[in-house]
């Protein structure tokens, strides 16, 4: 677990309490010991009690409890700054050590009554950074679309069944428009709009969707989406003639039972397609297709403010995660340069 001979009495009592009463694992207890040991060494060095001893050699077994009883929030913040600067701790490491200190001072306050109020009460724990959104590469996205080959035009002929055409249309909308799952399943056939271009160019095609917070927004369709939509609508109309009850069905995308497709059914369709492309088990999902569309648009020059509107984000801060993705890819590209290895001095 940890060497108790290296800890002062009050720290041993806290760790024993954490292990027995709180039922924490030996690994967690050992981590807390090392985190708090760092803090105590920092305080001894700060208070001039280390006598010039190297930081890693400072003996905390002689730590005076009165020094700890006088700790204030500022001391803890200074420690976290020390971890980031002089020790180069990662965001994740600082988060863990801040949590350990909060638990430690909570114990000293509630169990030993060393403080009326814990000095860590108002400590803002540096939250772990959100992971970058996972997305498909361009090659993987193209492969996923091609896997719906029974729903792809072959010259001037087309012989796909209506389910394959529907699935291809769904996949095309996700990967081109960055729609949310809820937006796609709640879409109605009448939401599809076509308007003449006032500038005299090609007609403009778009769909009105209901986004988060019941806010309606416009999703414009590119050539791939228009083609996929037209193919599917043709098949849907053929189905309506066979099943008269479908004439009253508003949903754009329908299931085998001739009713609005469910979110779970769409998730299953995407899962099956991912599996057929060998992309299962890699953490991809319907929502990752939305990330893929956004990442590809941003990497190909779409302004971040425009992308915010395309995705229907309330805040620009939400959209800016895609700038981090691009930056990470640029850093990786530089690191992959064959000249990245420094030339050793002879």
DSSP, residue by residue, 223-267: HHHHHHHHHHHHHHHHHHHH-GGGGG--BSSB-TTSSBPPHHHHH
Fold of 4-110: DNA polymerase; domain 1 (1.10.150)
Q: How far is CA 17 from CA 43, 67, 263, in A?
A: 23, 22, 47
243 as an active site residue: the answer is no
| Three-class DSSP category at 314 | coil
Task: Please list the residue range(s) of the chain that carry CATH number 1.10.443.10.
Answer: 138-334
| Residue 343 reports pLDDT greater than 80 | no
179-228 pLDDT, tens digit each: 899 899 999 988 898 888 777 778 888 888 887 767 788 888 888 889 88
**Predicted local distance difference test score (pLDDT) of residue 223:** 87
Point out the catalytic residue in the list 41, 96, 235, 290: 290
Point out the catalytic residue in the list 212, 250, 324, 331: 212
C-alpha–C-alpha distance, residues 297 and 174, integer Å: 13
Q: At the fourth CATH level, which superfamily is domain 138-334?
A: Intergrase catalytic core (1.10.443.10)
9-31 pLDDT, tens digit each: 999 999 999 889 888 888 888 99
Q: Is the pTM of this model over 0.75?
A: no
Angle of CA points 229, 308, 176, to nearest 5°: 25
229 as an active site residue: the answer is no
212 as an active site residue: the answer is yes
Are 274 and 280 in contact, with CB atoms under 8 Å apart? yes
158 as an active site residue: the answer is no
**Predicted local distance difference test score (pLDDT) of residue 161:** 80
Going by pLDDT thresholds of 50, 70 and 90, the confidence category of residue 155 is very low
What six digits make up the tokens of 130? 């959100």
**Predicted local distance difference test score (pLDDT) of residue 324:** 66
322 as an active site residue: the answer is yes
Point out the catalytic residue in the list 97, 180, 229, 288: 180
Render the burial of 136-166: b for 16+ CB within 10 Å, e for the rest.
beeebbebbbebbeebbeeeeeeebebebbb
| Residue 318 reports pLDDT greater than 80 | no
287 as an active site residue: the answer is yes
230-244 pLDDT, tens digit each: 989 988 888 888 877
C-alpha–C-alpha distance, residues 167 and 273, integer Å: 9
Task: Please list the residue range(s) of the chain that carry CATH number 1.10.150.
Answer: 4-110
């Amino acid at each position: 677990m940890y060497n108790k001979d290296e800890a002062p009495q009050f720290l041993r009592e806290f760790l024993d309490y954490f292990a027995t009463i709180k039922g924490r694992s030996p690994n967690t207890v050992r981590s807390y010991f090392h985190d708090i040991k760092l803090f105590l060494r920092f305080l001894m060095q700060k208070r001039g009690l280390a006598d010039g001893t190297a930081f890693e050699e400072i003996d905390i077994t002689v730590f005076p409890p009165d020094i700890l009883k006088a700790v204030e929030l500022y001391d803890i913040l200074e420690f976290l700054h020390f971890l980031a600067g002089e020790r180069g701790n990662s965001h994740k490491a600082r988060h863990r050590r801040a949590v350990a200190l909060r638990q430690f001072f909570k114990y000293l306050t509630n169990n030993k009554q060393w403080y009326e109020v814990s000095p860590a009460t108002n400590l803002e724990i540096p939250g772990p950074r959100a992971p970058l959104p996972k997305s498909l590469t361009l090659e993987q996205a193209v492969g996923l679309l091609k896997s719906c080959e029974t729903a792809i035009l072959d010259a001037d002929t087309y012989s796909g069944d209506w389910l394959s055409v529907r699935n291809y249309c769904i996949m095309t909308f996700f990967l081109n428009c960055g729609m949310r799952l809820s937006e796609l399943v709640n879409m109605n056939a009448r939401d599809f709009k076509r308007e003449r271009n006032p500038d005299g160019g090609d007609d403009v095609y778009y769909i009105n969707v209901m986004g988060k917070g019941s806010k309606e927004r416009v999703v414009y369709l590119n050539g791939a989406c228009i083609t996929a939509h037209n193919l599917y609508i043709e098949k849907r109309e053929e189905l309506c003639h066979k099943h008269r009850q479908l004439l009253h069905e508003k949903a754009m995308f329908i299931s085998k039972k001739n009713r609005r497709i469910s979110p779970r059914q769409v998730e299953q369709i995407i899962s099956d397609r991912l599996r057929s492309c060998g992309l299962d088990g890699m953490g991809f999902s319907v929502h990752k297709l939305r990330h893929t569309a956004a990442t590809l648009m941003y990497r190909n020059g779409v302004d971040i403010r425009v992308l915010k509107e395309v995705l229907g984000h309330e805040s620009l801060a939400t959209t800016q995660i895609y700038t981090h993705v691009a930056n990470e890819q640029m850093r990786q590209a530089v690191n992959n340069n064959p000249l990245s290895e420094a030339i050793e001095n002879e």
